[in-house]
Amino acid sequence: MKLIIQRDRLVQSVQDVMKAVSSRTTIPILTGIKIAATEKGVTLTGSDSDISIESSIPKEEDGDELAEIIESGAIVLQARFFSEIVKKLPTDTVVIEVQNHLQTVIRSGKSEFNLHGLDAEEYPHLPQIKEENVFRISADLLKMMIRQTVFAVSTSETRPILTGVNWKIEDRELTCIATDSHRLALRKAQIETESNESYNVVIPGKSLNELSKILDDSNDPIDIVITENQVLFKAKHLLFFSRLLEGNYPDTSRLIPTDSKTDVVVNIKEFLQAIDRAALLARDDRNNVVKFSTFENQLIEISSNTPEIGKVIEEVQAQSIDGEDLKISFSAKYMIDALKTLDGTEIKVSFTGAMRPFLIRPINDDSILQLILPVRTY
Amino acid sequence: MKEMVPKKGRVILHVDMNSFYASVEMAFDPSLKGKPLAIAGDVEERRGIIVTCSYEARKFGVKTAMPLWEAKKLCPQLIVMKPNFERYRAASIRIFEIMRQYSDLVEPVSIDEGYMDITESDEFGTPIEIARTIQKRLLEQLDLPCSIGISPNKFLAKMASDMKKPLGITILRKRDVPNVLWPLDVGQMHGVGKKTAEKLAKIGIRTIGDLANANEIQLKNLLGINGARLKERANGNDRRLVDPESVSDFKSVGNSTTLPKDISNQQVLFQVFDGLAEKVAARLKRKKVLAANISITIRYKDRKTITRSKKLRNPVSQKDEISQAAKTLFLKHWNGDPVRLLGITGTDLQEKGYAVKQLDLFSFEKEAKKEPLIHALEKLREKYGKHIIENAGAKADIDIKSKIGTDTSFNKDFLQTFTNGEKNKKQ
């Protein structure tokens, strides 16, 4: 294999596929990045066997020559070293050449590295996915949906299925749900598709986080294909495969309250800032709890009391408070996480009692919902 | 903060009950008086260890912590009794009540000893008069002997109370330190255990005087920060204040038990955990705290001991929750070998008023069912004050009948109850 390639494009591609490379893999060859040169261009692949990312660099794009293939072939290079090397190479072009016995020369300007490569034949094949039932969503919307849900997945392996985000597709609507059993995030959106298939799968939270980091904030379309145990996201020059989590996601629909006893409408920014300040005295894990109380004249009080440190009381003027008076305690962190995902100026918080989950939604927007379980005080 | 308090002129008493458990038994049953009596954790000889013994038994060479079989060999007529913790606790509470009549600054250290600061107590007489009165009242009213040390600080008071037993009163001034303390073996010093004494001997320190004049850097290298502290003490300096609240500075609640025989049957071990969890739960409830961290101790047949802990998502106080956490830890860390001792300890304790439980989406209904009740309780408390109503568990303040603590020693829980009780009275 021998090729000449634009350094910037190479760096970008290496960075993308690195997202899938883990140093703690049980399969030694997966610590490497596979580089393959064909007559179409160069593809780089990284994988930790849960996530696989393939980034391709065409020979030519918009009239610019990005890569020149002198001899096709493939090699696997240690990701840790290769990624650092390409970042620091001195000139705009890089020559990669595989010589005898997998010895690989990387040359750029007056710099020359000799790396011991690994046999590309040993590298696992990417999942074969038949591209039927494709549905399509713009990159920025996809990123938004991930951001609005993935934060709520569980980080504990006690219920592995909850470490993923539940994706349901029905009637051309995608619903993403994540819960760690203490809070739940739900986001819906219309998708483009020719197929009428319905799906109900669970994508690991980690995969979605990595995907979100790689995708550009553009409205380029992303094609999504779901199979029995894999999901594939296809962007321009990028394939992102993720394993799906096995098992049934719990049915959360019946757990989301439909009625409410107290409804509070409040400015999101004021509310968020008040919670954030109240949490200052409650930052550590154990006391990350604030108390929320409603009063007459549309007044909300958010307070926190940490005996060793002190206490804080924040007053927030609500737009409206309807229904019963309420005192409820909840994790400030969960509330801040949830509020940060919501756009708009006003939100409605709907409570059904101090020991029951409550909902946070933007006014006039059904596409997103955040649910939080309160804490019980003794 | 404490360092800033001027050290001049405090008068501290250390009241130390003489062979307390045995004395209480003798007060309870005067026919035991004058006989060699020992209290042992377990009358069964394999595990039985002398917890305390009367002075008559000591004449035969019977000592605290001696195995029962050895004591019996030394003194065949030894009367051995199981501890009656309820009796000792009741006696202890009355002792501290009497002490408290002479000063607000009473710090119980354990069931049978305490410090009191009588600097401001001159209305009751001179320090020696106060000491005599207390000793006399304890003997006449409770039939319990004690020794009292009078000194300008805690350390000297403690050393002083040790000097004359039983029924001694010893004054130890700072100026007496070179003459009285320095000739003593360093091992006799409060705060110097066997291990420390051995270490000190290696650098030629044998008496308290040697320690007082030892090289500080050398001491620090040998014993760390404690080295400097011990040197200070050996010179008669101790800035610790008498702190009536110190008993409530508890950091953990734990129970352990030596099994009657080495066991490797998981089911049986789990039953042991259930029993331990019940005890820990009872003690947590009494202290009105929850544990956010549960640790277990496993001692194997070969005495190899491991401790493993886990931080919990929600603090616990219920038997089932504690037991569950302990068993999970056990299964993770047990190597399958026969087990000699098991223990459960709750740490990272949180006061009930500030502890919270994060509700779970899939189980909140269980908690929510209690909501009307909790709501009603809150209303009552809002109207009539915090203490108007409490859960049955929290109310078990004085009347706990179950034997708590480890099987061989008493725990300090009740001292806290006592100080709390006092505090409530004052409110």
DSSP assignment letter at B181: I
**Quick one: average pLDDT of B339-350?**
88
Total domains in chain B come to 2
Asked whether residue B402 carries a pLDDT value surpassing 60, the answer given is: no
Q: Is B113 a catalytic residue?
A: yes
Residue B369 is predicted with a pLDDT of 79
Read off the pLDDT of residues B124-139 as tens digits, 9 standing for 90 and up: 889 999 999 999 999 9
Q: Flag whether residue A371 sits within 8 Å of chain B, measured between CB atoms.
A: yes
Binding positions of B for Mg(2+) are 16, 112
Q: Which of A250, A371, A373 sits opposite B358 (nearest CB)?
A: A373
Residues A109, A7 within the same domain: yes
Q: What residues in B contact A286, CB-CB < 8 Å?
A: 292, 315, 348, 350
Scanning A29-68 for CB atoms below 8 A from B yields: none
Model pLDDT for residues A118-153, shown as the tens digit of each residue: 999 999 988 888 877 889 999 999 999 999 999 999
Rounded CA separation A353/B359 (Å): 13
Contact indicator for B344, A335 with CB cutoff of 8 Å? no
Read off the pLDDT of each residue in B71-78 and give the average, rounded to a whole number: 89
Distance CA A35, CA A71 (A): 13
Residue B363 domain flag = yes
Quick one: A184 and A281 in the same domain?
no
Average pLDDT, chain A: 91
Which chain B positions have a beta carbon within 8 Å of A183's beta carbon? 361
CA pair distance A299, A325, nearest whole angstrom: 11
Specify the range with the lowest mean pLDDT, choosing from A50-54, A108-112, A261-265, A307-311.
A307-311
Q: Flag if A356 and B364 touch (Cβ within 8 Å).
A: yes
Mean pLDDT of chain B: 82
pLDDT confidence of B426, banded at 50, 70, 90? Answer: very low
Residue B388's pLDDT is 62
CATH number for A57? 3.10.150.10
| CATH number of the domain that residue B373 is part of | 3.30.1490.100
A378 to B355: CB separation less than 8 angstroms, yes or no: yes
Chain B 311-350, residues with CB within 8 Å of chain A CB atoms? 313, 315, 348, 350
Q: Are residues A194 and A112 in the same domain?
A: no
* Inside any domain, residue A321: yes
Average pLDDT (A175-187) is: 96
- Please check whether residues A174 and A226 belong to one and the same domain: yes
Q: Do A375 and B350 touch (CB under 8 A)?
A: no
Provide the pLDDT for residue B405.
41
pLDDT, average across residues B295-324: 87
Is residue A203 domain-shared with residue A298, that is, in the same domain?
no
Q: Which among A220, A253, A286 is the end of a domain?
A: A253
Residue A21 confidence (pLDDT) above 80: yes
Write down which residue in A218, A236, A253 finishes a domain: A253
Find where tokens 């001694």 sit.
Answer: B168
Give yes or no: residues A240 and A301 share one domain: no
pLDDT at A331: 92
Is B203 among the domain residues? no
Percentage of chain B beyond pLDDT 70 is 83
Does any CB of chain A come closer than 8 Å to the CB of residue B398?
Answer: no
Predicted pLDDT at B421: 38
Residues A373, B357: C-beta atoms closer than 8 Å: no
- Tell whether A267 and A214 lie within a shared domain: no
Token pair in block for residue B94: 């009355």
Q: Which residues of B touch A328 (CB under 8 A)?
A: none
What local confidence, expressed as pLDDT, does residue B252 receive?
A: 79
Q: Residue A33: give the domain boundaries.
A: 2-122
Q: Which of B148, B190, B192 is nearest to B172 (CA)?
A: B148
Q: Specify the amino acid at residue A339.
A: L
Do residues A281 and A338 share a domain? yes
Which chain B residues are Cβ-neighbours of A357 within 8 angstroms?
359, 361, 364
A347 located within any domain: yes
Q: How far is A373 from chain B (nearest CA, A)?
A: 6
Cis? peptide before B166, omega within 30° of 0:
yes
| CA–CA min distance B32, chain A (Å) | 48
Residue B78: domain span = 20-85
pLDDT value of position A284 = 59
Above 50 in pLDDT, residue A352? yes
B370·A355 Cβ contact <8 A: yes
- A192 and A116 in one domain? no
Q: Does A221 touch chain B (CB under 8 A)?
A: no
| Residue A17 sits in the same domain as residue A105 | yes
Establish if A63 belongs to a structural domain.
yes
- CA angle, corner A19, sides to A17 and A22, nearest 5? 105
* Same domain as A148, residue A169: yes
Nearest C-alpha of chain B: how many angstroms from A356? 6
| Closest by Cβ to B356, choosing from A181, A289, A357 | A289
CB distance A244 to A231 below 8 Å: yes
Cβ contact B159:B190 at 8 Å: yes
Checking if the pLDDT of B4 tops 50, the result is no
Find residues 359-378 of chain B whose CB sits inside 8 Å of chain A. Answer: 359-362, 364, 367-368, 370-371, 374-375
pLDDT at B43: 65
What residues of chain B lie within 8 A of the CB of A304, using their CB? none
B8 pLDDT more than 90: no
Q: What is the CATH number of the domain that holds A287?
A: 3.70.10.10
Residues of chain A with pLDDT > 70: what percent?
98
Give me the interface pTM, i.e. the ipTM: 0.80
Is residue A129 one of the residues assigned to a domain?
A: no
Say yes or no: A211 and A177 in one domain. Answer: yes
Confidence of residue B394 (pLDDT cuts 50, 70, 90): very low
**Which of A136-145, B293-302, B371-380: highest mean pLDDT?**
A136-145
Of B37, B62, B85, the residue at which a domain comes to its end is B85
Q: Is A8 within 8 Å of A21 (Cβ atoms)? A: no
Of A84-98, A192-206, B228-242, B373-387, give the lowest mean pLDDT range: B373-387
Q: How many beta-carbon contacts under 8 Å exist across A and B? A: 70
| Domain final residue, candidates A122, A149, A173 | A122
pLDDT of residue A305: 81
Measure the CA–CA gap between A76 and A123, rounded to whole angstroms.
Answer: 8
Annotated catalytic residue within B70, B113, B232, B382:
B113
pLDDT (average), residues A289-294? 92
Contacts of A245 (CB under 8 A, 6+ apart): A160, A161, A163, A164, A202, A203, A204
A30-44, A210-224, B167-181, B379-393: least confidently modelled range: B379-393
Q: Is residue A343 part of a domain?
A: yes
Q: Is A305 on the interface with B (CB under 8 A)?
A: yes
Quote the DSSP letter at residue B164: S
Instruction: Please tell me the distance from the alpha carbon of residue A368 to that of residue A13, in angstroms, as a whole number.
Output: 33
Does residue A377 lie within any of the structural domains?
Answer: no
Domains identified in chain A, total number: 3
Phi and psi torsions of A250, nearest 5°: -60, 145
**In contact, A129 and A239? CB cutoff 8 Å:** no
Percent of chain A with pLDDT over 90: 75
Quick one: average pLDDT of B333-356? 85
Min Cα distance A378 → chain B (Å) is 6
